[in-house]
Amino acid sequence: MTRIAVDAFGGDYAPEQIVAGALQAADQNGIDIILTGDQSKLESLVHGKPGSERIEIVHAPDIIGMEEAAEAVRSKPESSLVVAARLVREGQAGALVSAGSTGATMAASVLTIRRIKGVERPAITSLMPTRTGVALIVDVGANVDCKPNQLFQFAQMGSIYAENVLKVRNPKVGLLNVGHEPTKGNSLVKEVYSLLQTEESSVNFVGNIEGRDISQGNCDVIVCDGFVGNVVLKFAEGLADALFGMMKEEFTRSIPSTLGALLLKPGLRRIKKKVDYTEYGGAPLLGVNGVVIIAHGGSNAKAIQNAIRVAKRGVEQNIVQGIAERMA
């Protein structure tokens, strides 16, 4: 099933930007989509637009707000998020995309779609731009306190995703730590290091990496707990914004610097595109029995379109089946 269920009322700019992104994905990428949410509102946004013939609307009267968390999933079973998750569980859709509350999306995925057998905890992943391409970081916020075997599974699931979806042959897996030596770090990462060295790990483990190594592109998959991963992700987003802000100030300071900026503009545009989260769409949630993409809360139409495209790719590459076979 390649239809994608989209929570049309999840996100800071829902439903207008969500619907716009869905229409773009339907029209430009040829993807069949199910929008969940208030039917009359969605019909008014979809009617007569390019791509509307590939859009189906399923009514969901309730909304889970951005500030709400896991408890709302139980108290609002007819919310746009839960209804979309239910469509995946029932096989009417192959994937779920939501820009709503991360905690609620996690809960809806685990409670409704359910975990893959053998997976202790699902993990949120994110693509980090590097000098050589991108690196997949697992986990970036789903699990702030982890046990060694959970990080061990993150490495396995991340490796499967990188190989099947990102098309990286024999992806290199690194463990994020405060030093390269096996003796460095806390008891958690030391034990995970030992686990990843065993034959049972079935991943191409290249050892510890430090924070400064992430952007160099030496690893394809970077493993850490959700607390560390979320800090890394948010720091990288903030640093990119700050650097481009500083460059803009410098380039407009004088006529010579402005002229220099004009010469550099094509290159700067390419760099900005590389660090723009809207280009990557969203963060795959690995370990649940269906493809789930958690989009940024501030997603615009472009980000939603790309999130839907990533979801479709995950379905087509049988990522859930690949993880289920490894966990078995």
pLDDT tens track for 157-179: 999 999 998 999 999 999 999 99
193 and 270 both lie in a single domain:
yes
> CA–CA separation, 221 vs 204, rounded Å?
10
Q: Is 328 within the bounds of a domain?
A: no
Q: Does residue 174 fall inside a structural domain?
A: yes
CATH number at residue 303: 3.40.718.10
Q: Per residue in 16-49, pLDDT tens?
A: 999 999 999 999 999 999 999 999 999 999 999 9
75 membership: H or E segment, kind and range? helix 71-75
- The closest alpha carbon to 280, from 240, 243, 225, 328, belongs to 240
Q: Please check whether residues 124 and 110 belong to one and the same domain.
A: no
What gap in Å lies between CA 222 and CA 234, rounded to an integer? 16
Residue 322 forms part of a structural domain: no
Query: 3-class SS at 79?
Result: strand
Q: What's the domain count of the chain?
A: 2
| Distance from C-alpha of 237 to C-alpha of 140, rounded to nearest angstrom | 13
Q: Encode pLDDT of 220-240 as tens digits.
A: 999 999 999 999 988 888 887
Distance CA 150, CA 135 (A): 20
Three-state secondary structure call for residue 208: strand
- Dump pLDDT digits (tens) for 40-97: 999 999 999 999 999 999 999 999 999 888 889 999 999 999 999 999 999 999 999 9
C-beta of residue 320 within 8 angstroms of C-beta of residue 148: no
Co-location of 151 and 253 in the same domain: yes
Element containing residue 240 per DSSP (H, E):
helix 226-251
Is 325 a domain residue? no
Q: What confidence tier does 200 reach under pLDDT thresholds 50, 70, 90? A: confident
Residue range of the domain that includes 299: 1-117+287-317
pLDDT band at 208 (very low <50, low <70, confident <90, very high): very high
Q: What pLDDT does 236 receive?
A: 85
DSSP string, 126-176: EEEE-SSSEEEEE-SSS-SS--HHHHHHHHHHHHHHHHHTS--SS-EEEEE
Residues 198 and 252 in one domain: yes
Please give the model's pTM, rounded to 2 decimal places: 0.88
Same domain, 81 and 108: yes
Residues 256 and 153 in one domain: yes
140 and 208 co-located in one domain: yes
Band (280; pLDDT cuts 50, 70, 90)? low
